Structure 1
Amino acid sequence: MFEGFQEERIDVGEASVFVRFGGEGPPVVLLHGHPRTSATWHRVAPRLVAAGHTVVCPDLRGYGRSRGPRFTEDHAGYSKRAVAGDVVAAMRRLGHSRFALAGHDRGGSVALRLTLDHPAAVTRVAFLDCLPLTEHLARISVEFATQWWHWFFFAQPGIPERVITADPDSWYRGDPDAMGAENHAEWRRATRDPDVVRAMLEDYRAGLTVDRRHEQADRDAGKRVTCPALVLWSLRDDLEDLYGDPVAVWRRWATDVRGHGIDSGHHVAEEAPAALARALTGFLQPDRVGCRSSAPARRDDNG
């Protein structure tokens, strides 16, 4: 898994980020979703390297082998703004001030926050199986509440930790044949770690609180993603069923957006790696201009 890639743990201040990286050429960062680690990209990353890219796959803050700060009642230490800052800092340590970006699931929320907060750093961005968090919350229906109930369960204080850590193998189900044995083993180690489980829950708690406020502030300020954006979704998942055309939703947030579905279940990097890699390599062409902020710069919540 990840033959020819290097591994490094990068100290970025209040967090340490585990990264895999390899290849040569224009850099692209791949951000995983819940409850995966960077290993989920093991079938996609080598294809992007072969297409002429430097590929960087970090574990998000608190997931896998990355570690974050102590947990607080406001969940700010696990906000998408904090995680996006980790990625920017890690990329600078690796020598990349500008890069393309692809985020799946919760990693897509980080990709949006990073692109809005650090527009000069991002050349192109791909959002995979995701919408802005506020768009999900504005469209809550019986179907959403039935299928995505875990968002609100994870937000409860204390309870989900006790439920999940009592039997993580039953809660987080994975197939080693579908995932790949090494990816499955790494994922299983992570989901058996109570600190990782708590950090993953903090990701969701931040999503319903501090992240929601950050996104709403950007909407109120008219801030948009201005670099080229690609939206991909899994045709055997429920995003299109719940919301119709995901590209139409993303046009509220991005000025240059296109996209299409891929014949896959939700974990597209594992289930349809060739199709995903083709879509990304067709999109991730060298770009001389990064994202431009479409609203006046503002200080974050910590000044």
Structure 2
Amino acid sequence: MTAFFPGFEEWDVEATPGVVLHGRSGGSGPPVVLLHGHPRTHTTWHRVAPALAAGGFTVVCPDLRGYGRSSKPDPDAEHLLYSDRAMAADVAGLMSVLGHERFAVAGHDRGAYAAFRTAMDFPERVAALAVCDGVPILEALDRADARFAARWWHWFFYGASPHAERVINADPLAWYGFDAAAMGEENHADAVAAVGDPLTVRAMLEDYRAGLTRDREHDASDRAMGLRLQAPVLAMWSRFDDMEALYGDPAEVWAPWCELPVRRAVIDSGHHMAEEAPDQVAAALAGFFDAVRPDGPRLGARVRGTLTA
């Protein structure tokens, strides 16, 4: 598929008061929202979203608040404005504006945390949840030993260092090292434009600051109250990333947070699975979202690719 988001509409939508999300949507059928990670934008899904749309889904791809061309509110001292709870409210608001009362959500990397929080805070709206290359932030921080700190040092540099913004903005392209060939020309251009904006860098760091503070507290409160995800959950991770090295079976980390058994999918890729193995990602998401439909699977739905259980 050579066209960039063929058949998709590009939009800017006020999702919550004062916060406008930029993104694209296309297709018809059960609605699915795809949330990107750091430091990407919604265009990271450019090889997955059209495949899902062709397979019979309405696909919505926004830039999270602070990222890409979405609004970048001035940070607050409490780090609430860039918390996953705020991003989840954006997702719910966006889907309401677009006319989707109930929807599935998938998130990768930082987007996985926003997707998780959307399902926790809006259980009546989320029909299914797919979390890609992530576990709950509370679980990650509870396991943050020396090995974790050595592998994921950027969490603490972004979330705690007073120097991070100045260092990254000195040369954001050198810092992030985007691979244009792997990403695709248009996706690469969108990511380059995003990180070239100092306000985007500031917002992305606020995402990490919220992760170490407010997001952790929200997870801890939910766990203390015994709250669980009510929607079916797919835990999906990259075979050649470090999820298994850090957590063993990530689905087992998710299990105590879920009312239903957790499904698994392993993707033959490095961390940026939507760019590196889009056929597998699209097939895994489509197979999961189709299988958990309350009215039963659509036997005619097909998305090219393979699902690794």
* TM exceeding 0.5: yes
- From 8, 11, 22, the equivalent of 2:26 is 22
1:68 CA displacement = 3.3
- SS of alignment partner, residue 77 of structure 1: coil
Kept after mapping to 1: 8 A contact 2:172/2:196: yes
1:165 and 2:165 correspond: no
The residue number in structure 2 matching 1:296 is none
- From 230, 241, 251, the equivalent of 1:237 is 241
1:5 and 2:8 correspond: yes
Cα-to-partner distance string for 1:166-207 (whole Å, 9 max, x where unaligned)? 010110111111000110010000011000000000000000
The residue number in structure 1 matching 2:74 is 70
Could you tell which deviates more after superposition, 148-157 or 170-179? 148-157
1:215 and 2:211 correspond: no
- From 182, 185, 190, the equivalent of 1:181 is 185
Amino acid at match of 2:273: V
1:157 CA displacement = 5.2
The residue number in structure 1 matching 2:269 is 264
Kept after mapping to 1: 8 A contact 2:107/2:131: yes
Could you tell which deviates more after superposition, 66-75 or 205-214? 66-75
Using the size of structure 1 for normalisation, the TM-score is: 0.93
Could you tell which deviates more after superposition, 250-259 or 80-89? 250-259
Kept after mapping to 2: 8 A contact 1:14/1:68: no
Partner Cα distance (2:11, 2:268) in 1:
34
Amino acid at match of 1:278: A
- SS of alignment partner, residue 231 of structure 1: strand
Kept after mapping to 2: 8 A contact 1:68/1:78: no
1:227 CA displacement = 1.3
Partner Cα distance (1:260, 1:58) in 2:
24
The residue number in structure 2 matching 1:123 is 127
- From 249, 272, 281, the equivalent of 2:286 is 281
* Ranges in structure 1 where 5+ consecutive residues have no aligned partner: 290-303
1:260 CA displacement = 2.7
Cα-to-partner distance string for 1:81-127 (whole Å, 9 max, x where unaligned)? 00000011011000001001100010000011110100010111100
* Ranges in structure 2 where 5+ consecutive residues have no aligned partner: 296-309
1:258 CA displacement = 1.1
Amino acid at match of 1:194: P
Partner Cα distance (2:103, 2:24) in 1:
15
Could you tell which deviates more after superposition, 202-211 or 7-16? 7-16
1:41 and 2:45 correspond: yes
1:255 CA displacement = 2.1
The residue number in structure 2 matching 1:94 is 98
- SS of alignment partner, residue 120 of structure 1: coil
1:287 CA displacement = 2.5
1:15 CA displacement = 1.1
Could you tell which deviates more after superposition, 31-40 or 12-21? 12-21
- SS of alignment partner, residue 160 of structure 2: coil
- SS of alignment partner, residue 207 of structure 1: helix
Q: How many residues align?
A: 289
Partner Cα distance (1:281, 1:90) in 2:
22
Amino acid at match of 1:269: A
1:69 CA displacement = 2.1
- SS of alignment partner, residue 5 of structure 2: coil
Could you tell which deviates more after superposition, 14-23 or 162-171? 14-23
Kept after mapping to 1: 8 A contact 2:34/2:59: yes
Identity of aligned residues (%): 54
The residue number in structure 2 matching 1:251 is 255
Using the size of structure 2 for normalisation, the TM-score is: 0.92
The residue number in structure 1 matching 2:61 is 57
Could you tell which deviates more after superposition, 145-154 or 252-261? 252-261
- SS of alignment partner, residue 256 of structure 2: coil
- SS of alignment partner, residue 18 of structure 2: coil
1:155 CA displacement = 1.6
